[in-house]
Amino acid sequence: MNTTVIVFLVLYYIIVLGIGYWALRSGGSDDLEGYLLGGRKIGPATTALTLQTTSMSGFMFLGAGSLGYIQGYYALWFAAGDIGGGVLNFSIIGRRMRKISQLFGALTAIEYLEKRYPSTSLRIFSGLLTISLLGFYVLAQFIAGGKGMALVTGMPYPVALAIAVSIIVLYTFMGGYLAVAYTDFFQSLIMLFGVMWIFIAILIELGGFNNANNMVGNLDPSLLSIWGKDLGFEGQWGVVAGALMIFSIGYLGWPHVVTRHMAMKCPSTAREAGAWATIWNLFFVPTPYLIGIFAILVIPDISDPEMAIFEVAGKLDVDDLFDASANARYHYNGGFNHKAIIAWVLSGYIAVGTVWPNILVLGLGDFFANLGGGGGYAWIIGASLGAVVHLAISKR
């Protein structure tokens, strides 16, 4: 077990609990609107980044790296769709959902639909969809979080999961949505900082971006193609369209995503939040895929491609930073040693080990959302509910 990593994880959990306590003192639990929507006073930057971290999920640290490792640059089709997902959300749903939900006095997405189309049956049906299909998605995040935490801490999976869920329950009960939104904001910075430094570290190890691409091309030229390994998707534009749309429109109607629109300070917040989301996405979204692609060169015989990002982080040992001997990896000799930058991969450990807790909050928000596997179906229901929500806010 890496003591340095454990220290920073403990520090991280202290910070998120501190945010929960601050939210409690700021009135996050004073009434139901405060608890469920943070009193509808969340600003654009926090709104944007809580939406993005909540919708990104454990896929970005397991699935994205795995897809890049297996299919090469074809994986970036998924990234291209995901980059535009935030601005689509705020443009199509955001402003009107914020305005109309307050007019109706709705505090949840399902309550909004019931009041927009008065029907108890609709509420029951929507609730069952959320519990079942979104529940599958949430459980997938438990798996992602368990794998990551167990790897970076050395803890047994059940122990790591129990500790993290306990922290989440505590700060959520203390500050409600206000605590969740600001811990998401904090986590989004960790996510971005962590994956960017892992990416920089792996580029340094491989001699730069161009050299890394040349090495991938020498290994398998098809991995540099937009059609995937062995050109397996060549000419299949329908598959490409699906890759672009699954993450761009796939989470428009997710109840926990719609809640982010309802909690904004005012309807006009949506425009600025869309800009914040796009900027964050441009830096963050492609990076896990690229790490996965270049992980082929660092760990060519990995047994589980889903662990590509974690394995790359583990390959670069931060403990070497504290070795001052002349033969140490990061020893300075006559000036700057560029390999010392790899020590910053510690932030990557923190990112991949702690990004997933905000996703688990969905289980609290949707009550029973922890039923079984099959998280991929959540994207289908998200797109379908997105169409329903869009219709509901568009009709006069």
Long-range Cβ pairs for the range 218-222 (8 Å, 24+): 219/296, 219/297, 219/300, 220/72, 222/72
Integer-rounded Cα Rg, in Å, for the chain is: 21
- For residue 198, pLDDT over 90 is answered with no
**pLDDT for res 244:** 86
Residue pLDDT, tens place only, 87-119: 888 988 889 999 999 999 998 888 888 888 887
For residues 251 and 180, the model is more confident at 180
Q: Two tokens at 128?
A: 């069952």
Are 291 and 65 spatial neighbours (Cβ–Cβ below 8 Å)? yes
Q: Please give the Cα distance from 152 to 95 (Å, whole number).
A: 40
* Polymer length of the chain: 396
Helices (H), the chain: 3-25, 32-37, 44-56, 63-71, 76-83, 85-89, 95-104, 109-116, 120-129, 135-153, 157-206, 209-219, 237-248, 255-262, 269-284, 286-298, 308-315, 345-354, 357-365, 377-394
Residue pLDDT, tens place only, 262-314: 999 999 999 999 999 999 999 999 999 999 999 999 888 888 888 888 888 77
Are 313 and 198 spatial neighbours (Cβ–Cβ below 8 Å)? yes
Q: Please give the Cα distance from 309 to 290 (Å, whole number).
A: 10
For residue 84, name the pLDDT band (cuts at 50, 70, 90). Answer: confident
**pLDDT for res 388:** 60
What's the pTM? 0.77
Domains of the chain: 3-14+43-321+337-394 (1.20.1730.10)
